[in-house]
Amino acid sequence: MKPATLTFLCLTVLATQAHASSPDAWAAYDKAVLAGCTKASGLKNAKPVGDAAQFDDRVGYTAVLLQGQYPQKHMKGQQGTELCLFNKKSKTAYVTEWNSIRPTAKAQ
């Protein structure tokens, strides 16, 4: 392969990678993560707590902590917390209850 061709290919790859991680691409990805996690959540009015945790591409997930109200009538609007793992490849969100992060009340 000629050096000019090799240089062109390298620049093309770098430009493609730079485009994939542009601010607009990240904003669209963050929006997709939040939409997927909110939809998968069982909580009413689910909102993110802080920023998403971006795991390395070898792991393949982004984590989001959500808080909202339990929708069941017997829960009387009690607040709940869920951890969402968003699969980067399949664009699938998985949630689990994560109330254990709250400090426990001390016995008096």
Q: What letter represents residue 86's amino acid?
A: F
H or E element, residue 97: strand 92-97
Q: What letter represents residue 27's amino acid?
A: A
What mean pLDDT is predicted for residues 69-90?
94
Confidence at residue 7, expressed as pLDDT on a 0 to 100 scale: 36
Distance CA(59)–CA(77), nearest Å, equals 35
| Interval 24-79: pLDDT, tens | 999 999 999 999 999 999 999 999 999 999 999 999 999 999 999 999 999 998 99
Confidence at residue 105, expressed as pLDDT on a 0 to 100 scale: 57
Task: Enumerate residues 6+ apart whose C-beta is below 8 A from 80.
Answer: 43, 67, 68, 69, 70, 97, 99
Confidence at residue 59, expressed as pLDDT on a 0 to 100 scale: 96
- Considering only residues 71 and 105, tell me which one the structure prediction assigns the higher pLDDT: 71
